[in-house]
Structure 1
Amino acid sequence: MKIVLNVLRWIAIVVALLVAVAYFSGNQFLLKGVWAAYLHGNSSATIGDSQFFDTRTVVAGTANPWKESSEYNKTELSERLRTSLDETRSVAFLIAQHGEIIHEEYWDGYGTDSQSNSFSMAKSITTMLAQCAIRDGVIESWDEKAIKFLPELKGEFAAELTLRNLSTMTAGLDFNEHYSNPFDITAKLYYGPDVEKLMMEEVPVSEKAGTYEYQSGATQLLGLALIKATGKPLAEYASEKLWKPLGASHSAEWHVDNEDGKELAFCCFNSNARDFARFGQMLLQKGNYNGLQILDSAFVAMATVPFVEPFYGHSFWLCDDYETPIFYQRGILGQYIIVFPEHNLVIVRLGHERRGNDRDHSVDFRVIVEEVLKGLS
């Protein structure tokens, strides 16, 4: 018994020392990462990890329920599509056409009210909020300099950086987008206690803007600029400009870096499939939702065409491989809001995994698109 107690005592001492080293070395984000992921049986972020974060509520207003089509759930999914949804551990799959839900399924205990992490689908939401701020007049245009709102920006090219560069992933930041290295800047941004301090002190604008490079830090800077411009937290502004006008059925939750801190603008807008689909329906209708013009139609047109690379616009992914235009919001674990303008169609998929890329788009995304288009034909 004494041996066991001595072993436990030494384990406690080692753990305490590791905690102290992480804290005093400025790597306290590792403690949160270990707690939220590894100590709960995961190796990275998960769709349900909002329970380990402080969040700020995106308040819903009067709900505007979706209509269900007369053909609701009458058509079976193809075997190939169902296999892909199962293999990627999907939790929600929804298809809406002509403003009505025609198919909807849930797995793993999820349902119409279940929240799931959006991951990088939030990048598109942040860009939509920036457009709202332009419409409100608190930002002059997409070509306004970021340094006007973030004077602490560092780097040789900081003065040249525009809000458009941040939205289109052409910012030239010293930011390595890496998801498996726990010491990398991406992990610091996700788990760290002060995203603004991190971005101002550790992420200089080191290259001339204009070349595409996907960087979550770019959207975080856009979000910080928005907070400064509007004088409001992103969650509050999102509630006012998007969530309430869209008639969301449930309030959403947006991760923040600490209890009174700032939203992770690049990530982590937690909601359900039906409410996520409202974004797609609004964009399908050129910024209009139930007769209310929430976003300028000119912005929707601009945001959903290529900027530098053919597969990316203003925080929206683009695919022209199927003889019909497609644009979509995307999260790291296969979170999708997919819009098919010519088919008046919106698809939402939420889940635990996605497959590797095939020509700039993940394999499971291609399966969804190909099988749904087959069904339409």
Structure 2
Amino acid sequence: MQNIYIALTGKWYFYSALSKTYFIGQSGPGIYDLKLFPYQTITHDKTPYNIPESTSDEKELSAEENAYFESLETTSFLVLLRDSVIFEKYWEEHTPETVSNTFSAAKSIVSLLIGIAVEEGYIGSIDESVGEYIEEWNKAPYSKITIRDLLTMSTGLGWHESGGNPFSDNAEAYYGTDLEKLVLKQEVVEEPGKEFEYISSATQVLTIVLERATGLGLSVYFQDKIWSKIGSGSDAYWSLDKEGGIEKGYCCLYATTRDFAKIGLLIANDGVWKGERIVPEWYMKEAFVPADIKVKGGGDNHRYGLHWWVVPTEEDTVRYARGIQGQYIVVVPGRDLVVVRTGHKRASDYREVPPGFDDFPESIKPQIGHPGDLFVYLKVAMRLADQE
């Protein structure tokens, strides 16, 4: 019956998905999937930056904290305070040299490249129609969608976002071989610019915009404008849909934990790296302000800026990128903190906070729309920082 459905719908990617999951002992996408797909290499900085180490006493996770981290199959946890490493731990086979997948945390990096492309004149404005850069969408109803609508996840597009359904649009995007065709054929089902609805296709359309506007592939532009300028110590890799194909911009950037932390440092330093402005100042001011839209189902948006998640707090707005299975790059400007966590699982309930971790300070109370484990990592990082 399943084979008949595949034949009728043309979802032949399903067999590729089987070969890359169940046949190798996985139930779905994994953080070490790099060699399962073609990829583009992103060359590291010629003068790598070694993040300074704290000179204070070595810190440890409590038994309770470590048990929680292990319950979610954490592979790395790194905390920087005032640009110095104050805690770093790796689990399982993960080491400081291991590259792993950002999954959707890559979306936030694509956002930075959009700001840079506007500053360089490749894109006129984030309020321009996407149809100015994608000829196939230079017609109604697609021409109503702006680059800002893509950045704020308010596209009105009818994409099926699911991390578990093997026949979802997301599954075809991950395991299929014609990503551009897939995302450009999606339909507009609601008025753009009105409601927040998180869909990965929004980032993939931004990836196409960048490629067509700059004339460069996403990996090349990222290498030229960010990766080669922030002291990256290792090559990064971006998965492609096929050999010679397009990057999976909505996910699938692989790098080491310390190099992910350098993205966090760039954000913590307002888009400036060692005196050189990398991300334009105007974009940094806009990217972390909750977009003036509604959340689908009701209520104002307090959780999402320009492809960056935000948690308004008493001290400052926490800024973070996140991906499935709990990939996080977190910046807490008010505390001079950068936190990176990689692993195989994330809290299943977005408001789930385990016993013993529910006495949060007022500054980081869990909020709707954010995974509960994020706040545990924040609390642990703040505890470690208080020991400095």
Same fold flag (TM > 0.5): yes
Shift of 1:168: 0.8
**1:368 aligned to which of 360, 374, 377:** 377
**1:330 aligned to which of 309, 322, 331:** 322
Structure 2 CA distance for aligned equivalents of residues 73 and 115 of structure 1: 28
Shift of 1:243: 0.3
Structure 2 CA distance for aligned equivalents of residues 364 and 197 of structure 1: 36
Larger deviation, residues 63-72 vs 97-106: 63-72
2:307 paired residue number? 315
Give the residue type in structure 2 aligned to 1:194: D
**1:229 aligned to which of 213, 216, 219:** 213
Structure 1 CA distance for aligned equivalents of residues 155 and 146 of structure 2: 8
Larger deviation, residues 25-34 vs 67-76: 67-76
Shift of 1:206: 2.3
Shift of 1:324: 3.7
SS at 2:136 equivalent: coil
1:5 paired residue number? none
Alignment partner of 1:191 is 2:200: no
Structure 2 CA distance for aligned equivalents of residues 21 and 178 of structure 1: 19
Q: How does 1:254-333 map to 2 (within 5 A)?
A: 254-307=238-291, 308=293, 309-321=301-313, 323-333=315-325
Give the residue type in structure 2 aligned to 1:104: E
What is the CA deviation profile of residues 12-65 of structure 1, one whole-angstrom value per residue up to 9, with x for unaligned ones?
Answer: xx9xx95x9857852121122111111111111000111111111112131323
Q: Which runs of 5+ in 1 are unaligned?
A: 1-13
Shift of 1:79: 3.5
Shift of 1:155: 8.2
Structure 2 CA distance for aligned equivalents of residues 135 and 44 of structure 1: 38
Shift of 1:310: 0.4
For normalisation by structure 1, the TM-score amounts to 0.91
Give the residue type in structure 2 aligned to 1:221: V
Larger deviation, residues 315-324 vs 254-263: 315-324
Alignment partner of 1:74 is 2:58: yes
2:145 paired residue number? 161
Larger helix share, 1 or 2? 1
Structure 1 CA distance for aligned equivalents of residues 316 and 381 of structure 2: 13
What is the CA deviation profile of residues 220-249 of structure 1, one whole-angstrom value per residue up to 9, with x for unaligned ones?
Answer: 101111100011110011000010011211
Larger deviation, residues 62-71 vs 119-128: 62-71
Q: Which has the larger radius of gyration?
A: 1
Give the residue type in structure 1 aligned to 2:65: L
Larger deviation, residues 365-374 vs 131-140: 365-374
SS at 1:68 equivalent: coil
Larger deviation, residues 300-309 vs 315-324: 315-324
Alignment partner of 1:148 is 2:140: no
Q: Which runs of 5+ in 2 are unaligned?
A: 294-300, 352-367
For normalisation by structure 2, the TM-score amounts to 0.88
- Whether contact under 8 Å (2:54, 2:84) holds in the other structure is no
Distance change >3 Å, CA 77–CA 224, structure 1 → 2: same
Structure 1 CA distance for aligned equivalents of residues 45 and 385 of structure 2: 34
Aligned residues: 360
What is the CA deviation profile of residues 148-189 of structure 1, one whole-angstrom value per residue up to 9, with x for unaligned ones?
Answer: 111213885311111111111011101121121111111111
**1:44 aligned to which of 18, 21, 28:** 28
What is the CA deviation profile of residues 104-130 of structure 1, one whole-angstrom value per residue up to 9, with x for unaligned ones?
Answer: 111111111100000001001111111
Structure 2 CA distance for aligned equivalents of residues 258 and 197 of structure 1: 13
- Whether contact under 8 Å (2:201, 2:250) holds in the other structure is yes
Give the residue type in structure 1 aligned to 2:188: V
Give the residue type in structure 1 aligned to 2:379: E
Shift of 1:372: 2.1
Structure 1 vs Structure 2 CA RMSD: 2.0
**1:340 aligned to which of 332, 336, 354:** 332
What is the CA deviation profile of residues 265-321 of structure 1, one whole-angstrom value per residue up to 9, with x for unaligned ones?
Answer: 100000010000111101110000111110112211210111131011111111125
Give the residue type in structure 2 aligned to 1:204: E
Alignment partner of 1:215 is 2:215: no
Distance change >3 Å, CA 321–CA 342, structure 1 → 2: closer
Shift of 1:144: 1.2
Structure 2 CA distance for aligned equivalents of residues 275 and 223 of structure 1: 22
- Whether contact under 8 Å (1:122, 1:268) holds in the other structure is yes
Distance change >3 Å, CA 153–CA 139, structure 1 → 2: same
SS at 1:152 equivalent: helix
Name the % identity: 32
Distance change >3 Å, CA 57–CA 72, structure 1 → 2: farther
What is the CA deviation profile of residues 53-91 of structure 1, one whole-angstrom value per residue up to 9, with x for unaligned ones?
Answer: 111111213132323323367112234432221111111
Larger deviation, residues 169-178 vs 69-78: 69-78
